[in-house]
Structure 1
Amino acid sequence: MARISARTSAKKARSVARAPGRSGRPPNELAGEVEERILDAARKVFLDRGFEGASIEEIAEVARSGKPTIYARFHDKKGLFTAAVTKYVIAKQAQLENHSPSGTTIDERLASIGVIVLQEALTPEWISLLRLSIAEARRFPDLGGSVIRIMRERGTEIMMRLLAEVAESSEVETFPALGPGRLAMTARYFIDLILLPQVLRALSGEDIETLHAEIGPHVLQRVAFFLSACRNGGIA
């Protein structure tokens, strides 16, 4: 009996001794949290240091993780950079997925979409990440294409849903470009018309606060032009 008691006590002691320094992969329920923490830390470090200046050591420190944990998920720094940028783009677009157009007229409903799109796009972090991705385009020839593809494909899907909510059945007759068969192309035109001019200005160094102050007038002007084209069949 004494031997059994001694062995049990020894096992408990070893268990306690191992607990603080537990190593290996985290449980499945924590794996997603660990990866998200790594990607968020990577984005912050890459934005602060640039690709060349960023190190896996610093990313691991910011993520409160270990280098082996990072390398178990990402082959190298290039793979981590690509994953961090892609995750951020997808998260940005997800902000629009639950948005519903507001307003009593089609002009107001379209304007509400345009405003939220620009508010999400014109942030210092988003613009800085776009600049960094553009600067590293030669090093990552596939990154730009994949990010643009994600932005275009998912952005078009989200915008198609929003535009479908904007146009009531009676209004589709007045604005044929908002009909189901033409909605995909119309959604892409709307995104380009509203988003691209202001994002390009931000990328070129114009003050983001100034661009935010112009969102209202810019959106109203573009919506009026957009609806005129939709009414006259000039889109799609």
Structure 2
Amino acid sequence: MATHKETGAPARLPPPPRKPDPTPAPSKADTILNAARDIFLAHGFSAATTDMIQREAHVSKSTVYAAWPTKEALFAAVIQRECGQFANSLREMDFETDDITRSLTRLARAYLDLVVSPMGLALYRVIVSEAPRFPELGRAFYAAGPEVVASIVGQFLERAAARGQIDVQAVGYTTAAMLFISIVRGEAQLECLTHPNARPSEAQIDRWVEAAVQTFVQAFVKRPEGG
């Protein structure tokens, strides 16, 4: 056993080095994901680097790599979080009313507000531009975004059908839900993507929502007998 030369007492060994945490603390993880989101949306996936992200987040590379070993994994985490936050907010909204048109309008407005927001448009641009080179990122976005929203809308339509408000038997709940979000998103998203320096007014968004909802209502909403 090692001893101090002067006293002969056992030498105090240094404590063993602490093992790094396998994942950063929640608050630090949020900081990293926020930084990653901002860097990816500003520079695109290919041009963004983990060096940029760790500097933006004010953390070490080892902290980033401990949770996300590759840039693709980090971007997938950003996609999951951004899409998941919107899906959760949609689930928490109360759409159950006796007025099916009003319910559909609230659903459409909540979805379109996200789709044409600066963040929503920027994320969509990055995904579409990188999908040919990184198809797994495109699939991750589709599964976490449009598919989840369609599932939430489909569940709403199923409950509305049980109340006798709507009839989508001809196509089924899943297809009807996809049709609904596609009608809502279609013209509005295309116009905003092709006019990047313009921001739609609240009145314009209302018109897009109304046109989409009325189209869907005409196709699927049951009308009173004799109406």
Instruction: Please say if residues 100 and 162 of structure 1, whose CA atoms lie closer than 8 Å, have aligned partners that are also in contact.
Output: no
The reply on whether 1:40 has 2:34 as its aligned counterpart is yes
Which structure has the highest helix share of the two?
Answer: 1
Matches of residues 124-203 of structure 1 in structure 2 within 5 Å?
Answer: 124-164=118-158, 166=160, 169=163, 171-172=164-165, 175-177=166-168, 182-203=172-193
**Letter of the aligned partner of 2:190 in structure 1?**
L
Query: How much has 1:109 moved relative to structure 2?
Result: 1.8
Query: How much has 1:159 moved relative to structure 2?
Result: 0.9
Instruction: Please say if residues 119 and 212 of structure 1, whose CA atoms lie closer than 8 Å, have aligned partners that are also in contact.
Output: no
Q: What residue in structure 1 maps to residue 91 of structure 2?
A: 97
Relative to the length of structure 2, the TM-score reads 0.78
Cα-to-partner distance string for 1:160-200 (whole Å, 9 max, x where unaligned)? 2333455562x34xx321x6x93222211111111232122
Relative to the length of structure 1, the TM-score reads 0.75
Separation in 2, partners of 1:104, 1:207: 40
Unaligned runs of 5+ in 2: 1-6, 223-227
Q: What residue in structure 1 maps to residue 71 of structure 2?
A: 77
Unaligned runs of 5+ in 1: 16-21
State the percentage of identical aligned residues. 24
Number of corresponding residues? 215
Cα-to-partner distance string for 1:200-220 (whole Å, 9 max, x where unaligned)? 222222555325431212222
Q: What residue in structure 2 maps to residue 18 of structure 1?
A: none
Instruction: Please say if residues 127 and 141 of structure 2, whose CA atoms lie closer than 8 Å, have aligned partners that are also in contact.
Output: no
Matches of residues 10-49 of structure 1 in structure 2 within 5 Å?
Answer: 24-26=19-21, 31-49=25-43
**Letter of the aligned partner of 1:34 in structure 2?**
K
The reply on whether 1:86 has 2:86 as its aligned counterpart is no
Change (3 A) 1:92 1:135: same
Query: How much has 1:129 moved relative to structure 2?
Result: 1.4
Separation in 2, partners of 1:142, 1:71: 20
Q: What residue in structure 1 maps to residue 110 of structure 2?
A: 116
